[in-house]
Every structure is written in structure tokens, then in C-alpha cells.
């Protein structure tokens, strides 16, 4: 049965994504984490697997009660996921009362879920309210996006506007903009609640001086959001502080959004 899980398409894609994020330099050491809602229909036997261990949840997670989640291990190195997925990944089932998560597979050697489990579960809850097809929450330390938080105003509007101006596809890929949080202690319930609050309006939440959370209906969508934000931040870091002579102007951003028929944040532009 364990072999069946490892051969499942969702698990193979999760393993590949962890490797890609490590090789991009976004998930050094044990930095970053991923969680993915698994449709029980993909593996009907998941509901019949015995619970190996239980992990308490520090808040009421009844909105995702009964959901199955594939989650990265706390303290695991993304570079090792491809080598030993059963050690570095786990499959959890949220209890019917939303007070605990039962381990069905993985986390060999007494492993625990990511320390950011609060931010993940809360973000899943927030995104499911906005998008019933939501599935994935990712967190990484995308280098240039983090660097940008040291030298740029940390408001949703200003940060989103600058990212939109850096590359023509940005307003099309994330027309709602991005949410930005000030520096907070990672792994706390406070940052989990703050991230989920941003996820009510955005699929991307940037943690100043730390990293990025991105959500999507698939691993491809969430990973693509991260790539696009990081590309825009990279361009800004390369040219922003040297003085920008040319940029995509607000009326051109409006034309872009209208050409691709996306519902963008009009209040983020000065028109």
C-alpha cells in the first residue's frame, strides 16, 4: 500500500516540486514547506488506513474536518524529499471534530508535520471559501522577493503595483495583487492567523524578511505564482535601486488586464 502511495501521480508531482524548489535555491536547509489537499476519490483506501499517530491542532479546524493532506515534515530538507519521501512527507487526516490530525502514512522515525501547520490549515480554510477547487499551499524563501522586502514599502498596494510594473504577465497571473505582512515570528499561531486573513483576498502572501506563501488549485498553479512573483522581484532588485527610467505605466497595466479579461484590483492603480 505504501508503494501505491509513492506511485500516485499527486505524490510524484509533490516529490518533483520539492526537488525543483530546492534546486532554485528557494528552500535551503529545512526552510519552507508544502501542504496539498488530496481528493479521497484519487485513493479511496485512504479513509481505511489506520491512524499511526495523532497531532493536536491548536485551533478549531472543523472547516477542513475529514480532509486528507499531504504535508512536508518539520525540520526536513527539501533536497532529501526525492531520496526518501516516506521520511520527509506525510499524509494526514483532519479529525471530524477538527481538533487533531491523524498520521496515515509517512514521517518515519517519529517525525512531525511542518511547524507552519497552523498557517497551512488556516490558509486552506481561507482559500476554500474563495475557491472550491483550491488544493495547494506552498511556502518558500524566494531570494529576491525576500530581498525586496528590505528596500520597498510593505503595503499590499505598493508592493503589488511595483511587481505588476516589472513584467507584463504579472497583472495577468496575479490580478488581485499580493498581500504583505510585516516581520513576525514564524511557526506561531499569530502568523498563521495573519496569513489566512491575507489569503481571503490574495493567493500570494509575502512575509517580510522571511519568505512567500502561495496557494493554488494545483501544484503547477501555486508553483507558477511563486515563479512569477520571484521573477518580478528579481527584475526589481536588478534595476530598482539604480533608478527606473522606463516602466509599464498604469494606463498600460489597465489595457493589459482588460486585454486578458482578468478582474484586477483597480484601486491599486492611479488612473
Which residues participate in catalysis according to the annotation?
Answer: 116
- The residues, any chain, with a CB within 8 Å of residue 23's CB and separated by 6 or more, are none
Nearest of 141, 20, 140, 139 to residue 79 by alpha carbon: 20
Q: Report the DSSP pairing between strands 204-207 and 179-181.
A: parallel
Q: Are 36 and 219 in contact (CB under 8 A)?
A: yes
Q: How far apart are alpha carbons 198 and 266 in whole angstroms?
A: 18
Q: Are 7 and 16 in contact (CB under 8 A)?
A: no
Q: How far apart are alpha carbons 252 and 228 in whole angstroms?
A: 19
Phi, psi of 94, rounded to the nearest 5 degrees = -70, 130
Amino acid at each position: 500500500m505504501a508503494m501505491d502511495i509513492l506511485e500516485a501521480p499527486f505524490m510524484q508531482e509533490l516529490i518533483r516540486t520539492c526537488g525543483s524548489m530546492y534546486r532554485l535555491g528557494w528552500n535551503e536547509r529545512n526552510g519552507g514547506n508544502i501542504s496539498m489537499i488530496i481528493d479521497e476519490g484519487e485513493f479511496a483506501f485512504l479513509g481505511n488506513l489506520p491512524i499511526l499517530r495523532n497531532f493536536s491542532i491548536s485551533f478549531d479546524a472543523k472547516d477542513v474536518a475529514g480532509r486528507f493532506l499531504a504535508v512536508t515534515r518539520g525540520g526536513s530538507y527539501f533536497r532529501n524529499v526525492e531520496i526518501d519521501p516516506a521520511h520527509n512527507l506525510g499524509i494526514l487526516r483532519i479529525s471530524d471534530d477538527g481538533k487533531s490530525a491523524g498520521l496515515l502514512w509517512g514521517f518515519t522515525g517519529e517525525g512531525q508535520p511542518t511547524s507552519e501547520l497552523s498557517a497551512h490549515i488556516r490558509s486552506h480554510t481561507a482559500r476554500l471559501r474563495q475557491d472550491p477547487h483550491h488544493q495547494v499551499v506552498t511556502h518558500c524563501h524566494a531570494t529576491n522577493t525576500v530581498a525586496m522586502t528590505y528596500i520597498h514599502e510593505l503595503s499590499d498596494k505598493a508592493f503589488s503595483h511595483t511587481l505588476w510594473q516589472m513584467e507584463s504577465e504579472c497583472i495577468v497571473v496575479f490580478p488581485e495583487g499580493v498581500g504583505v505582512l510585516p516581520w513576525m515570528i514564524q511557526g506561531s499561531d499569530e502568523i498563521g492567523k495573519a496569513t489566512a486573513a491575507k489569503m481571503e483576498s490574495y493567493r500570494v502572501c509575502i512575509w517580510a524578511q522571511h519568505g512567500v506563501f502561495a496557494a493554488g488549485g494545483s501544484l503547477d498553479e501555486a508553483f507558477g505564482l511563486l515563479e512569477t512573483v520571484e521573477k518580478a522581484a528579481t527584475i526589481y532588485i536588478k534595476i530598482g535601486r539604480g533608478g527606473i527610467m522606463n516602466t509599464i505605466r498604469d494606463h498600460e497595466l489597465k489595457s493589459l488586464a482588460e486585454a486578458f479579461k482578468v478582474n484586477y484590483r483597480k484601486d491599486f492603480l492611479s488612473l
